[in-house]
Each structure stands twice: as C-alpha cells, then as structure tokens.
Amino acid sequence: MLFTFDEVLFRSALTYHHKIFAMTELNEQQRRLTIKLVYYGPALSGKTTNLTRLHDLLAPQLKGDMMTLETEGDRTLFFDLLPLGFTAPSGLTIKFKLFTVPGQVAHDGTRKAVLSRADGVMFVADSQNNQIYNNGASFDNLVTNCGMVGLDLSRLPLVVQFNKRDMPDILSEEEILSRWSQAPWPVHFASALEGSGVLESFDALLGKVYDNLTPEFEFQTVHQLSRAEFIAAVRG
C-alpha cells in the first residue's frame, strides 16, 4: 500500500518521535511533569514568529534552543519546538514543549501528529481581511483533527490570537470580538513581528492550562504553586 508524503511523515512521527510528541507525562521517579502546547493556525499567520518571540522574551530556569525542523522560506514543513521549564517549590520539575504545526493545507498528517496529546492550543489567526476564509478553514481543520486524535475540544485549554495587527487592511477589533462573541475561548490581539501581545496571549493559555491540570496535579496544595506563580515561573 502506498502512502502520501504526509502520511509517511505522520507515521514516522508517531513511531520515531513518540517521546517528542508525548503529552502531560508525570514521571514520578524523576519528579518531572511535561506539558505540551501547540500553536495552530493557517499558513503564514505567524505561529513560528510567536515561538521565536517567546524564545527571545522568556527567561525561565530551563530554556532550550528553538528547534526548527524543515522549512522552505517562511514555511514550516514539519514543526518548530521550543522547550521551557522550571522547578516548583515542591521539587517537581515542570517542562513545557511548545510546538508549531505547518499551516499549509497539504501538511495535514503532520498537523495531526503534532496536535496529538496536546495539553493546550494557541490558535493563531491572521487579522488581514483577505484571510477570513483561511482562518475559518484552519479552525474547522483544528476541530476535525481534535476529533481524529481524540482531544475533547470542549475541555481543551484554547486561546485565539489575532495576529498581524500592524498590517493594513485588517478586521477591526470590534468586528473580530463580535464574530467570536458566541465562542467560549478568549480572544487576544498581537503583532508577533514586533512582539506585542505575544506574552499576554501565552499567559492566558498558561492560566487555562493551570486550571485544567490542577484537579489532577494539585499544583497549589501539593506543589505550592499558585496560578500567578505558575505563569510567572514560565516567564522567568
């Protein structure tokens, strides 16, 4: 049986990158928790640029190099990965793996592999008027792929970021907020190229992740980590 390039990537990602793609894992012996966050959205919306800015702006106790796997010009062909982390007062090390998906429609297999077992998603939309369709198609794709990889969208921490606010011919904030007013997810605005809004939207996602994982991992009671301390520790 012949597979498409994307399917081959998807399979090899699952087989060989199992460790990279794993999600909240609590390793009791090493006292380490790994949280996976995924930047999702249409092609060229600014996902890679968000991660680059976070790499520049964040200074947590643990910060690895940003890995950019296979690009063609601006286009991500596989994914980017930024590792971050800190140690809680309890001694638990909390690691974050921030990924971007490739936005181009053709790379759906890779998107699914990267999305698999995510603990939170930043949906990076492009504010330009001519990108309304692509934003919608990409969000539909996120919904479909959540179903494919077994993520419950109604329980998944998700933040919507409208990027490229510095561009001409963009949807107004009022228009965007009114379009998304029925949706349960917070909407943030950013210009990742200049760095504005990138940290604020990331903080919003971290807060939602904290809320979602607290019942299981008891950050406050067992690890002496409040919501604000959790966010501040990732910022460094």
Ligand X SMILES: Nc1nc2c(ncn2[C@@H]2O[C@H](COP(=O)(O)OP(=O)(O)OP(=O)(O)O)[C@@H](O)[C@H]2O)c(=O)[nH]1
DSSP letter for 128, please.
B
Kindly state whether residue 37 participates in binding ligand X, applying the rule CB under 6 A: no
The Cα–Cα gap between 106 and 114 comes to 15
Smaller CB separation from ligand X, 65 or 152 = 65
Smaller CB separation from Mg ion, 48 or 134 = 48
59 class by beta-carbon count within 10 Å (0-12 exposed, 13-18 middle, 19+ buried): exposed
Q: Taking a C-beta distance cutoff of 8 angstroms, is the pair 110, 149 a contact?
A: no
Smaller CB separation from ligand X, 106 or 177 = 106
**# residues contacting ligand X (CB under 6 A):** 22
Q: Taking a C-beta distance cutoff of 8 angstroms, is the pair 190, 161 a contact?
A: yes
Q: Closest separation between CB of residue 180 and ligand X, Å?
A: 19
Alpha helices in 47-180 (DSSP H): 47-57, 108-115, 132-149, 173-179
Residue 185, sorted as left (phi over 0), alpha (psi -120 to 50) or beta, turns out to be beta
**Site map for ligand X, 4-23, x if CB under 6 A?**
--------------------
**Site map for ligand X, 101-140, x if CB under 6 A?**
-xxx------------------------------------
User: According to CB under 6 A, which one of 9, 13, 33, 44 is a site residue for ligand X?
Assistant: 44
- Dihedral sign (CA 119, 234, 198, 44): negative
Smaller CB separation from ligand X, 74 or 216 = 74
Q: Kindly report the backbone phi and psi dihedral angles of residue 125, in degrees, each rounded to the nearest multiple of 5, phi listed first.
A: -95, 160
Kindly state whether residue 50 participates in binding Mg ion, applying the rule CB under 5 A: no
Question: Which part of the chain contacts ligand X (CB under 6 A), choosing from 9-17, 99-107, 111-119, 140-148?
Answer: 99-107
Per CB under 6 A, residues contacting ligand X are 41, 43-49, 74-76, 100, 102-104, 163-164, 166-167, 191-193
